[in-house]
Structure 1
Amino acid sequence: MDRKTVTTESLNYIENNIKNKITIDEIAGNAGYTKFYFSRLFKQEMKVSVMEYVRERKLIYATREILNGNKILDVAIEYGWESHSGFIKAFKSYYGFSP
């Protein structure tokens, strides 16, 4: 499999499991690579680390849910943050302001 195919399949895996706790081991294993090799391959293709990409996608999905009127705490827990403050910190770091 070439790099683009591996990356595309990994992106699909992330999207399909966005509400689950996702680890680099799971993503790399799904692609059939070690996490070390996969991390380098992913970063070369996407220009961002695997887990940074996962965090960004979770924040984007969470933002949509908040804009649709869901409570911040409920959304934070649904997308894998263990606390309200952890989600707020990640959100502010990514967007530059609080939700």
Structure 2
Amino acid sequence: MRKHFFFLALLLFFAHPAQAADMRCQGDLMTPGTIITKVRQKCGDPLWEDRIGEVKSTTRSGGERLLYITQLTYEASGGYYVLTFEGGELKQSEFFQK
């Protein structure tokens, strides 16, 4: 049991978790709710763009619509910002250090 605890503690020590962080472009903060066109206008073209999935959403009238989940990756501040959009709206932003 002690070996397992030591191994787990060692893994946690060396892990570099992602940090939630808002990216700033041309003086504007890209916070949840920002639309993808504003991010592209302010921050430019991303290093990578990936469509990673889709989710069904129910409209107010009871119908369903399909929302794409897209990730844009930008290099800045000595690392990478990964911005996740759902239906063109920023839902989450993470920062990964190099």
TM-score tier, shorter chain, comes to under 0.3
With normalisation by structure 2, the TM-score equals 0.25
- Which of the pair has more CA radius of gyration? 2
With normalisation by structure 1, the TM-score equals 0.25
Higher relative contact order (CA 8 A, sep 6+): 2
Structure that is richer in helix per residue: 1
